[in-house]
Structure 1
Amino acid sequence: MEKEVDVELELDVDVVTLMTDDGEVDCGIITVLELNDKEYIAVSPLNDEEELTEEVWFYQFERDSSGGDEHDLIFIEDEDEYDQVVDKFDEWLDTLEFEEE
C-alpha cells in the first residue's frame, strides 16, 4: 500500500539505510510520531545531493529493547492504520507551518 505524500522540508536529519527490494536506500528521518501507544517513523529517500526528496515513507517504529541502535521498522499493512499515520503526519506538518509564521 503506497500513498503519495509530497512534502517540501528543509531539516537537518539523521540518516538511516533501509533495505528494499531494489537494494539499499539512504533515507532522512523526518519525525517519529506516537499514535495509539505505538511509534511510527516518517522517512524520505535522499537524492544524489543527500537532500530529502518529496517522497515520504511511513513505518511502525520499534526501538531496540536493549538500548542499542538496532531499531525495527515494520511495514504498515493495515490501510486504516496507515491512513491514521498519514493524518497524524499532516497534523505534525501543520504545527511546523504554524511555528514558522
Structure 2
Amino acid sequence: MSRQPYRSELGMISDVLQVAKECGRQGTIITTIARRANLSHYAATDKCQKLIDFGLMKARPDKRSNFFIITEKGIQFYEELQRFTETIQAIRVRY
C-alpha cells in the first residue's frame, strides 16, 4: 500500500509559482525557491524545468547561477490556479 503524498504535483507547482511571483521580475535562485516552497533542491529544479518547458517561467543565467523568473503566462496561470484551488476547497475535494 503506497502512502499518499503530502502535496500533489499541482500543489508543488503552485508553491513554486507563488515564490517566483513574490520575488518579482528580478527573479530568484533555485535555493530560495526550494527553501520557500519547502522542496528539495532536486524537486525544485525539476518543477522549475517543467514550468520553463511550458513557458510559465524562464531562466536567466548569471555569473554563478540561474535566476528563475515567472512570465506573464505564468502569472495568469497562477492566478487561475488559485481560483480553481479556492473552488475545490469550497466543495471539499482533495486535489
TM-score (norm 1): 0.32
TM-score (norm 2): 0.33
Comparing both chains, which one has the higher relative contact order based on Cα–Cα distances under 8 Å and sequence gaps of 6 or more? 2
Larger relative helix fraction = 2
Larger relative strand fraction = 1
